Structure 1
Amino acid sequence: MKTLLRIGLGLVVLVLALVAVAFLLPRTYRVERSTVINASPAVVFAQFGDLRAWKNWGAWQERDPGMKMTFSEKTTGVGAWSAWESKSEGNGKMTFTAVEPAKSVTYRLEFPDMGMGSEGSMALQPADKGVKVIWVDAGDLGMNPMGRWFGLFVDRMIGPDFEKGLSNLKRLAEAPPK
């Protein structure tokens, strides 16, 4: 009986220690990836400035071609949104919150199943041979200790998808016109 009590007490101490450490972890996260694309800003922006075009290069759509997509009436400009349902990629919604034509889009991501959201952007900067595309996602993990631990892995989870998407975007934008 003493052994079980010690094990139980040890587990309680461990859980309390993990919760206490969680509050020392960062409350926010930021994932950023970039690539240079040998194409005009207008050509590149057309691929991420219209929500319908994301299916042509996005890593998530590539992994689940059967993803059910829904779009707002207009798919460009502030207020445009897309929503998706996917067994493998989850459910969510993206809404453009700011748009500078041929320069950048800022968006809000919502993941209702996980009770999470984030802010993201894709921006173009001049580069020697074309444009540099910078893709960022950032979020607040709140006071939830599990969210804080989750934050340690966000870059490793999302970063490769950003890299794959940017690689696809580069291939698409640099392809000769049909």
Structure 2
Amino acid sequence: MRKFLHISAWVVGMAVALLVILLLVAPTKVHIEQSVLIHAPPSAVWDQTARFDRYNQWNTLREMEPSAKFRIDGVDGTAGASTTWTGKKIGYGRLRHLSLTPHTEIRQQLEFFEPLNAVSDICFKFADSAGGTRVTWSMDAEYARPKNIVGMFMKDNLVTDFRKGLQRLKSAAEASVSAEKTVNN
């Protein structure tokens, strides 16, 4: 019995030491940035990104929980407009336009209220590129200790979501250009 208690104490002590080390080495700031070339003019890509009625169709939150409720507040596509969502799986949150520079940049604030309270800065940058528009989607967040451990483990999932979201944006923007060409011919 004494040996069992000794081993148990050692295991608990190692777990606590590992947790303390993680708290100290896990970054408190997280930066994610992903880009994609979309074969569409900046106006088509902009329309899919700046308007929440279209954004909510390609963003990965809807894919994670199709039954989630989405709402748009304010004048869609303008500074101050926001989209909120609520769902059992994706929680409760809001994305708000802070500033929009047409066909160049969108700055947003992302807030999660449930299950974890967090705030992040989001930026979309659009640049003319040979054959289309280069879109760069970035996020900057700060996680105070002990939330920094969660941020460290979430980063890989967020990178995957950004890549998937950009591919869905690419499909939506390129399809809208193709549909427009069909209508005009």
Q: Same fold (TM over 0.5)?
A: yes
User: Could you tell me which amino acid in structure 2 is paired with residue 170 of structure 1?
Assistant: K
The correspondence of residues 111-122 of structure 1 with structure 2, limited to 5 A, is: 111-113=112-114, 114-122=116-124
* Cα distance between partner residues in 1 of 2:102 and 2:20: 45
* Cα distance between partner residues in 1 of 2:67 and 2:5: 51
- What is residue 154 of structure 1 aligned with on the other side? 154
* Cα distance between partner residues in 2 of 1:22 and 1:3: 30
* Cα distance between partner residues in 1 of 2:158 and 2:166: 12
Give the Å deviation of 1:13: 4.4
Gaps of 5+ in 1: none
- What is residue 104 of structure 1 aligned with on the other side? 105
CA contact (8 A) 2:23 2:145 kept: no
* Cα distance between partner residues in 1 of 2:7 and 2:76: 57
User: Could you tell me which amino acid in structure 2 is paired with residue 163 of structure 1?
Assistant: R
Give the Å deviation of 1:105: 0.9
CA contact (8 A) 1:32 1:135 kept: yes
Give the Å deviation of 1:166: 1.1
TM-score when normalising by structure 2? 0.86
CA contact (8 A) 1:97 1:106 kept: yes
Equivalent residue pairs, number? 176
Change (3 A) 1:13 1:166: closer
Q: Aligned pair 1:141/2:137, yes or no? A: no
Change (3 A) 1:109 1:164: same
Which secondary structure does the structure 2 equivalent of 1:168 belong to? helix
Which secondary structure does the structure 1 equivalent of 2:91 belong to? coil
* Percentage of matched positions with identical amino acids: 25
- What is residue 93 of structure 1 aligned with on the other side? 94
Which secondary structure does the structure 2 equivalent of 1:36 belong to? strand
Give the Å deviation of 1:88: 2.2
- What is residue 37 of structure 1 aligned with on the other side? 38
Gaps of 5+ in 2: none
- What is residue 19 of structure 1 aligned with on the other side? 20
Q: Aligned pair 1:123/2:122, yes or no? A: no
- What is residue 174 of structure 2 aligned with on the other side? 174
> Which one has a larger percent helix, Structure 1 or Structure 2?
2
1:29-56 alpha-carbon deviations (Å, 9 max, x no partner): 1111110011111110011111121122
CA contact (8 A) 1:23 1:148 kept: no
1:2-21 alpha-carbon deviations (Å, 9 max, x no partner): 33542453213431342134
